[in-house]
Structure formats: structure tokens, C-alpha cells
Amino acid sequence: MNGNKMRTFLEIIYNCPFILLVIFTSLVFVLFFDGAKEHKDEQEVAVLRLSDEGAEEENSEKGNDIAEESGQKKDDSIENDFENEAEKKADSAQNAGARKEKEDEMTINKDRKTDHTDPGNTGKAGRVEKHTTEFVEYAPIETNSRYYSDAGKIALTTVHDYVLENESYFNDAAFLGDSRTLGISDYAGLAGADFFCDNGMTIYKLLEDDGVTYQRTGEKVDLKEILQEKHYGKIYIMLGMNELGYGDTPMYLKQYLKVIRQIKEWQPGVIIYVMANLHVSREKNNMETEFNNININDKNVASARLANGRDVFYLDCNPLFTDEEGYLQAELTFDGVHLYAQHYDKWRDFLFEHGVEREEVLQTEADGQGKGFEKMGGSDGGSASQ
């Protein structure tokens, strides 16, 4: 009986070409739609980096009110699409080869869209040359970790015409981070800066209700409140070491993006420095766990993509402290992770050498964000005055 039903079904299929055409067309549509969506998701980080620049150009052409509304719509759209990208990458983390291909294509697209207009700053008023973070590629190795893959590239410090600064540059700066940032607080001699950092701090806990220690007083504070009450000219962020075994790299990047967006909303006109995580020594590098330099580099490459060369910059001090193979030099560290106190002066000098002066850009942004500054109500006193 079942055999007769099967023969009848096959006869209907063979005698009705229309049904075959419908089935074939449906399969083609599904394959094309998934491919197009994946291609769109691959470019979201590149689009994200350029979104602020696009909003700035639209602001100069159509007026501040129109630009503000358009920028908000664009930002909301990017956030929704980026969530899809993070979920897709999390589901396919084991496919290292495919992810490497996607990363390379995103980098190419990002470089194509980089704005190098008016390199001599002689064109439209208020326009300045914009740079990107550059990457050096290498042959990646295969990993079977669900937390990371080999990025196949190293992120370099964002290209920019940096200015040599001194300690006064940090009088309106805030540093947010973990135990490495604590080392800068204790030994780099930047007394004018505010430091909000803890051992074990992560990008996921930074803006949570549990708070973070304000090193000037030693007390826990709600960083959300601080960033809405005081205005900083520069904010340095260094987080990622304690996230090596928590979530995967796309998840880390998504949260980092969320934090930067929130800071920029609360701190109009601020310069954000995304600081690379320092590598560990050969002895501490453990490929049997997630605590290794490949994972650290994967997180660094991810966070470096958030730099736009305009108000977000990526700084990598690893070349100061690592050997030819990328390991933290054993003679510079007491535990394979943290520097001896006497070596933080190199880190301080590196920060001095990478100052960004943005008076012209700040003036352009202030014209379109006056309402934001008014809401802040100004901030006097302490090292957060401006």
C-alpha cells in the first residue's frame, strides 16, 4: 500500500513540471537570501566605524537638527544589525577559516571607505584628515576553542598626527580598567588623572551597579553616575584580560561597542583611547587553556576595529615590552602578566607621545551638540574639570 502511494506521488511530481519549478525556485531564493544577509553582517563593524563621520558630513550640509535625527536612525539600525552579526559568529565560532575570510573582507571594505579628503587641511572649513587602524597579517593557526580564534592579524596603533604632551594633558583624563590599569595608577605618575579600576574588572562589569573603585579615595563608586556628572576630555579604556575565558570574541566586541556608545552619549566631545591588552610571558602563555597570547591578540584586534581616527583611537604599547615572538619579556615582569613598578615610566612616555589635540573637531561637534553640553550642566572641581 505504501509503495503504491510513493509511486503515485512520484508520478504527480514527474507529470507536473510546475511543482518542480516552484521547489527549485524556493531553494535558490533561500540560498541567495542567506548569502546576502551574511555578506551584509560581515561589513557592520566597518560601517560602524564610519557612522559618526557620515553623521558629521550630513550635519554640515543639511543642518544640525536633520543630522541629529538621521544619525540616531543610523545608529539604531547598526546596533540591530550588529546583534545579528554577533549571534551568527557565536554560532559558527568553530569555523576559523570562514571567520578569517570575513575579517579580511571587512578590513578591505573599511580601507576603501577611509576618508583621506583634504590631507593638507586646505579644503572645506572644519574638515580634518581621518585615519584608520592598520593591521599586519600573518598565517593563523587552527584553534578549537569556543572562546576565540586566531585573528590572523595584529592591530597597530591608529595612524594619526599625535602630539607630544606632558602630565598636564591628563588633568581631565579618566582611566578605566583592570589590574594593569592599577599599575599605571600606582607607578606612572599621572597624579592629575582619575582612575576607576579593580582587579578582575571586565568590560561586562564596568557600568554595572556593583560599581568600580575610584583610586583617589579607595571607595566603590557608580561609574554611570560619575560619567553623567563630570565631563572628561579624554577617557582611556583597557579591558580584556579577565574576559579571555568568558564568552567569545564577538560577544566581547559587542559589549565594548555598547560601552563606547554609552560613554560618548554621556561625554560629548570626549576623546576615547582603546588601549591594547599587554601580552603575557612565554611561561604564562598556555595553549591548553584560554590564557594565551593568541586569545589576547584576538580581543585586541576586535577592540581595535572600534577606532575611527577621529574621536576613538587604538593604542598598542606591546612593542615596548614584548620580544620578537610577541611574549612579554621575562625580565620586565614578576608574574608573567604585570610589569615591575620601574617599567611603567615607559608606558607613561608612550602615552605622552600619543596625545590628540582636537580643537577644530571639538568646535564642529559643539555646534551640533550644544544641547548635550547644556544637559551636562558643566563640571567644576577635581581632575575632571575642563
As given in the structure block, the three cell numbers for residue 114 are 577611509
Domain boundary, last residue among 38, 58, 78: 58
* CATH code, domain with 144: 3.40.50.1110
Question: To the nearest whole percent, how much of the chain has pLDDT over 90?
Answer: 58
Residues 135 and 235 in one domain: yes
Domain that includes residue 28, residue range: 2-58
Query: Has residue 104 been placed in a domain?
Result: no
Residue 286 lies in a domain: yes
Domain presence at residue 71 = no
Q: Do 43 and 137 sit in the same domain of this protein? A: no
pLDDT in tens, 184-236: 999 999 999 999 999 999 999 999 999 999 999 999 999 999 999 999 999 99
Exposed / middle / buried, residue 299 (Cβ in 10 Å: 0-12, 13-18, 19+): buried
Q: Is residue 97 part of a domain?
A: no
Given pLDDT bands bounded at 50, 70 and 90, which one contains residue 70?
Answer: very low
pLDDT digits (tens, 9 = 90+) for 84-125: 544 444 444 444 444 444 454 444 344 334 333 332 333 333
- Judge if 262 and 165 occupy the same domain: yes
Q: Are 154 and 10 in the same domain?
A: no
**pLDDT of 287 higher than 50:** yes
Same-domain pairing of 47 and 127: no
Q: What is the mean pLDDT of the chain?
A: 76
Q: How many CB atoms lie within 10 A of CB 294?
A: 19
How many structural domains compose the chain?
Answer: 2
Q: Are residues 42 and 186 in the same domain?
A: no
164 and 305 fall within a common domain = yes
* C-beta atoms surrounding 358 within 10 Å: 17
pLDDT of residue 89: 43
* pLDDT value of position 13: 55
Residues 337 and 262 in one domain: yes
pLDDT over threshold 60, residue 258: yes
Report how far residue 301's alpha carbon sits from residue 294's, in angstroms, rounded to the nearest whole number: 10
Please tell me which residue, 359 or 274, carries the higher pLDDT value: 274
Single out the residue in 58, 81, 101 at which a domain terminates: 58
Q: The whole model's pTM is what?
A: 0.68
Same domain, 154 and 237: yes
Residue 111 covered by a domain: no
pLDDT at res. 132: 79
